[in-house]
Structure 1
Amino acid sequence: MDILSIFGVIIGFAAILGGNYLEGGTLAALVNVPAAVIVIGGTTGAAMLQTPLSGLKLAISRLRWVFSPPNLAFNKGVDKVVRWAIAARKEGLLGLESIAETEVDFFARKGLQLLVDGSEPESIRSIMEVESMLLEQRDLDASRFYESMGGYSPTIGIIGAVMGLIQVMSNLSDPAMLGSGIAIAFVATIYGVGFANLLLLPIASKLRNLARREADFRDLIIEGIISIAEGENPRAIELKLNGFLHR
């Protein structure tokens, strides 16, 4: 669980609500169902229009990463690669076959299988780098869904504000209707800008950073696999991969 993300959401909304209270406002003044329907529905619909079904499913599944990111322990990754190198030095590359069969990470398992099959180092690098690039692009596409929502949300909020003002102008003769129209106008703008800057854009940025971190971890695996294929000493491999610990 990412405590920092949870505190970030709490602090962000607490600052807005607290500032509203200090200015003499009430929570009820910020609750407006029509404005929420306009902003949330319009923003979601616009983002869905530009996203294929597979991309939408991925974006929804990646949302959990914001509060429960993948556990990428780079130091454990280095230790694992060093164990592979030691096994390869003692038993040869074929000795990695049993390790490959029990490896839970499919990317690492693919690299180990290429080693066992006797592929050339450059061939292994080419295959794994293409795989890593495609995985990173897929994860970045998930972040772009929320980034696009963050771009649409303020504009949809303005649309809601204009709709509220239209209601106000069409009911100038009825003072009882003016209040609801003005409320929709201003609250829709708050919702649009608030959702974009407190939730949607930070979520997109968080997923983008996690995608890059996952790519860095795959780079560690690639360098380790190539080093084993080239017959490097396990200690030398460890020293090389320790550079990834500072990322």
Structure 2
Amino acid sequence: MDLSTILGICAAFGLMLMAILQGGPLSIFINIPSIMIVFGGTAGNILVHYPFADVFDAINVAKKTFLYKETSASALIDQLMDFANKARKEGILALQASINTIEDPFLLKAVQMAVDGQEPETLRRMLMTEIDYIQVRHEKGGDIFNALALYAPAMGMVGTLIGLVQMLQTMDDPSTIGPAMAVALLTTFYGAVIANVVCTPMAGKLRNRSDSEILTKTLIAEGMQSILSGENPRIMEQKLHAFIAPKLRDSTFNK
């Protein structure tokens, strides 16, 4: 569970709710026509822009903003170094005994490929190809949330224009001006909230998640290639340390 995402959303909506309640009841910010225009229009635009499969995939990707277990790059380097030392002493087939202890699916796949006899460059190429397509899928999910952030304010503006037209058509009846203005203003409010409080931050979080995941998977690909190539573990460690900040670099040879 990602506490920063939950705390951020609760803070944003909580403070807005407190500000609303300071000025009047919450009910004045609830308007069914405005909700229909913004939420319905935005959903319709997304379905026009993207196929059903991509939209449903984006929903699954969105779960990563709340449910995500980040892999420690430092711990991953330590694990790869253990594999390198074992392979150097006992041969690459010795890694077969470690397969049941590997939790990361991508690392498990890489080790299995190494044990099965893949050439170092072939293994790296296959892993990097998979990484490329993972990145494409992540970018597509982020693009959908960026599109939502674009369409929601646009539909809010459409709702505002609808409300203004209705208001101008009934200027001779003061009792109709209030409801029309409510539609005009609340659609803009809903669109702004969807875009700036929900979709844009989620797109940013997904981008950060993707960057972190791509980094760890690239680290695995580089490490497994070095292990298969029989590279000196000290040189391999120095290469892998390039993936993390200097303050996180802790040599396994000093432990």
The alignment's TM-score, normalised by the length of structure 2, stands at 0.87
Partner Cα separation in structure 1 for residue 73 and residue 25 of structure 2: 48
Q: Report deviation, 1:44.
A: 1.5
Q: Which moved more, 1:195-204 or 1:10-19?
A: 10-19
- TM-score, normalised to structure 1's length? 0.90
By how many angstroms is 1:26 displaced? 4.4
The percentage of counterpart residues that share the same residue type is 34
Q: Which residue of the partner structure matches residue 30 of structure 2?
A: 31
- What's the CA shift for 1:226? 1.0
2:2 counterpart of 1:2: yes
SS at structure 1 position matched to 2:243:
helix
- Per mean C-alpha deviation after superposition, the further-off stretch among 60-69 and 203-212 is 60-69
* Distance in 2 (alpha carbons) for counterparts of 1:129 and 1:233: 22
- Residue 96 of structure 1 is matched in structure 2 by 95
Q: Displacement of 1:170 after TM fit?
A: 2.6
The amino acid across from 1:177 in the alignment is T
CA distance in 2, matches of 1:95, 1:209: 36
Note the alpha carbon deviations across 1:116-137, whole angstroms, 9 max, x for none: 2333222222111111011111
- 2:218 aligns with 219
Q: Give the C-alpha shift of residue 102 in structure 1.
A: 5.8
What is the CA RMSD across the aligned residues, in angstroms?
2.1
Instruction: Give 1:16 deviation, angstroms.
Output: 3.5
Letter in 2 for 1:112: V
102-111 or 196-205: bigger deviation: 102-111
SS at match of 1:232: coil
| Number of the residue aligned with 1:202 | 201
1:90-141 deviations in whole A, cap 9, x for unaligned? 3211222343466443322332233223332222221111110111111111
Measured in 2, the distance between the counterparts of 1:197 and 1:175 equals 34
Question: Where do residues 105-120 of structure 1 align in structure 2 (5 Å cutoff)?
Answer: 105-120=104-119
| Deviates further, 214-223 or 172-181 | 172-181
Give the letter for the 1:44 counterpart.
Answer: A
Aligned to 1:242: 241
Cα distance in 2, alignment partners of residues 99 and 56 from structure 1:
38
* Mean Cα deviation higher: 110-119 or 124-133: 110-119
The corresponding residue for 1:11 is 11
Number of positions where the alignment pairs a residue of Structure 1 with one of Structure 2: 246
Deviation at 1:156, TM superposition (A): 0.3
The Cα of 1:25 is off from its aligned counterpart by: 5.0
Deviation, 1:34, is: 1.6
Q: For 1:29-68, list aligned pairs within 5 A.
A: 29-68=28-67
Shift of 1:200: 0.6
Question: Which position in structure 1 is the counterpart of 2:147?
Answer: 148
More displaced stretch, 197-206 vs 111-120? 111-120
* SS in structure 2 of the partner of residue 136 of structure 1: helix
Letter of the aligned partner of 2:4 in structure 1?
Answer: L
CA deviations on 1:22-54 (whole Å, 9 max, x unpaired) are 6x4543332222212211111122112222222
Amino acid at match of 1:40: F
Structure 1 residue identity aligned to 2:112:
Q
> Does 2:180 align with 1:181?
yes
Q: Give the AA of the match of 2:58.
A: A
Structure 1 stretches lacking a partner, 5+ long: none
Aligned to 2:84: 85
CA deviation digits over 1:117-169, x for unaligned, max 9? 33322222211111101111111111111110001111000011111112212
Q: Which amino acid aligns with 2:91?
A: G
Deviation at 1:8, TM superposition (A): 1.7
Q: Which runs of 5 or more residues in structure 2 are unaligned? A: 249-255
Structure 2: how far apart are the matches of 1:231 and 1:237?
A: 10
